[in-house]
Amino acid sequence: MEIYTYPDVNLKDTAVTIGKFDGVHHGHRYLIDILKEKAAEKKLKTVVFVVDMEDDTSGRLDIEVLKKSMKKASLLTTWDEKVKKLEQMGVDVVVRCPFTRKISMLRPMMFAKDVLAKKLGCKLMVCGDDFHYGRLASGDIAKLETYGERYGYETYTVERLKEGGEVVSSTRIRDLIENGKTDEAKKLMS
């Protein structure tokens, strides 16, 4: 598996998914399995673009303010744990993207053009049905599809995985842990 740090990456002919992938839980694995399946159909490399909220870099936003605004608890997995899990899943490329002021300010069109099309060589973008991106999370799936037509990639949307009648998410897992239901949380991450 290849590992890069954004912006030091220049790829071609890829299928990409984007997220924090905290916990690399069942929902993430479901999304990545579909990414791998769709990439194989089109003979593309799989790329998991990880927005890294823990990496301290220059030009950093005030992460404490950001964490509070996102009601963010502690991380479920470290960077090294994520990489290990993604490698075990057979991902071709992982790109680590520190969440800097510069990346947070990219408008959706510029993200699609400069990150997806130019840097990642995206031909297929696979995302969850709640995916948002770009400045103030103002980019949605409709914009992603529109920009895909312009910049040469397709968009494939995946319905979020539900287990026990609820969406599997990092937030759900954190809530389970906070409420002492660690066995149930472990099952969603195993």
Q: Is residue 6 part of a domain?
A: yes
Q: Could you read off the pLDDT of 137-147 as tens digits, one per residue?
A: 999 999 999 99
- Residue 74's pLDDT is 76
Q: How many domains does the chain have?
A: 1
Is 24 among the domain residues?
Answer: yes
Query: For residue 146, what are the domain limits?
Result: 2-160
Instruction: Give a yes or no: residue 150 inside a domain.
Output: yes
CATH number at residue 151: 3.40.50.620
Q: Write the CA distances from 166 to 70, 118, 172, integer angstroms.
A: 20, 37, 9
- Asked if the model's pLDDT at residue 29 lies above 80, the reply is yes
Read off the pLDDT of residues 153-189 as tens digits, 9 standing for 90 and up: 999 999 999 999 999 999 999 999 999 999 999 999 9
Question: Is residue 171 in some structural domain?
Answer: no
The answer to whether residue 177 is domain-embedded is no
| Alpha carbon distance 139, 70 (integer Å) | 17
Name 117's Cβ contacts closer than 8 Å, sequence gap at least 6: 151, 152, 153
What's the rounded mean pLDDT across residues 43-54?
Answer: 93
Is 33 a domain residue? yes
The sign of the dihedral angle between the CA atoms of 161, 166, 169, 170 is negative
Note whether residue 169 is domain-resident.
no
pLDDT (mean) for 67-77: 61
50: closest CA among 68, 14, 24? 24
